[in-house]
Amino acid sequence: MPEETFGVDRRLAFIFETETAVTFVGEGIQTIAEWDAREDRRIVGLHLLAQGFERLLKVTRALIQLSEEGSLPSSRQFRNQYGHVLSGLLDDVLAACRRDETFTDRPAIRGDIEFLASNELWRAMLDVLSELGSGGRYHDLDTMLDGNANSESPLELWGAIEMDICRADPKWFPLMESDPASFSRQWYPALAAIQTETLQRAARAITRMWTLGPAQENGRTMTGTISRYLYLMDDQLKTPSAS
């Protein structure tokens, strides 16, 4: 890597940005996983997840371009090309992964790419996080000031995803009606496990690109920082990882 392309100041910023992204994702997952229908801090978790995944994906995309073209994208280029729409950003990252046969030859990596591209729950979550970043973050403020908001409520959109998860297993609604107390004891831990597994699998798949895939030229120097997700085993995905 030429020093003039990624000098000391930029490298320090790269380190700080990676640390921030990983921390935001982790704290966001923890907040979502802790909800049990009592104190509702999910909107805080959604803000953390939206920023965390946007930062992680943008740094990943930047590292790929640096490796392929020898230069970093500008902040204006990112704003103009992606804004806060994470699905387009992710799809461009996946396109770069598919060009790297040494990466896609690994069965586990092919599974990662398929998950990131096609898993319905993950993509629905990503859409909510995009909506939050694109304007939904001001939904409550706009409603307070104007009586309505131009964007949908991110928390309501997230709640709709949770209801879809509930409907997907036929045992939940009958249990909710017959024994609400038992439903609460069982449902919220099950919901937390499903959401945590999905979000952590996404984070693991993205960070693998930093050590095995198209972002590895510079990304592998951050192995210690991204290890929170990089080394998660499948049987660990349902529990929020420690920092």
pLDDT in tens, 110-144: 999 999 999 999 999 999 999 887 777 888 888 88
Q: Percentage of the chain surpassing pLDDT 90?
A: 73
DSSP codes of every residue in 134-184: HTGGGHHHHHHHHSS-SS--HHHHHHHHHHHHHHHSTTHHHHHHH-HHHHH
Kindly report the pTM of this predicted structure.
0.93
Q: Which residues of 43-75 are buried (b: 16+ CB within 10 A; e: fewer)?
A: bebbbbbbbbbbbbbbbbbbbbbbbeeeebbee
**What is the identity of the amino acid at 156?**
E
Write out pLDDT tens, residues 46-67: 999 999 999 999 999 999 999 9
Q: What separation in angstroms does the CA of 116 have from each of 16, 69, 122, 149, 198? A: 25, 24, 7, 31, 10
Question: For 101-118, what is the mean pLDDT?
Answer: 92
Q: What is the DSSP string of 29-82?
A: HHHHHH--SSS--HHHHHHHHHHHHHHHHHHHHHHHHHHHHSSPPPHHHHHHHT
Phi-psi region of 136 (alpha: psi -120 to 50; beta: other; left: phi over 0): alpha
Average pLDDT value for the chain: 92
> Model confidence over 201-215: pLDDT tens digits?
999 999 999 999 999
d(CA 225, CA 22): 8
Mean pLDDT of 162-186: 96
Phi, psi of 231, rounded to the nearest 5 degrees: -100, 10
pLDDT at 1: 42
The residue type at 151? S
The structure tokens listed for 98 are 């598919």
Distance, in Å, from the CA atom of 160 to the CA atom of 164, rounded to the nearest integer, reads 6
pLDDT at residue 180 in the model: 94
The answer, yes or no, to whether residue 4 has pLDDT greater than 60, is: no
- Answer yes or no: is pLDDT of 161 > 50: yes
* Residue keyed to tokens 């909710």: 176
Does the pLDDT at position 92 exceed 60? yes
- Expressed in angstroms, the distance from the first to the final Cα of the chain is 30
Interhelix angle 180-211/107-118, rounded to 10 degrees, is 120
Q: What is the mean pLDDT of residues 173-184?
A: 95
Q: Does residue 234 contact residue 28 with C-beta atoms inside 8 Å?
A: no
Q: Give the tokens for residue 168.
A: 């997907």
What percent of the chain stands above pLDDT 70? 98
96: pLDDT confidence band, cut at 50, 70 and 90?
A: very high
Residue 38 has pLDDT above 60, yes or no: yes
Task: Give the residue from 125, 134, 130 showing the smallest Cα distance to 197.
Answer: 125
Q: What is the pLDDT of residue 5?
A: 61
Task: Indicate if the pLDDT at residue 225 is higher than 90.
Answer: yes
Is residue 3's pLDDT more than 80? no
Q: What angle do CA 51, 199, 176 make, to 5 degrees?
A: 115
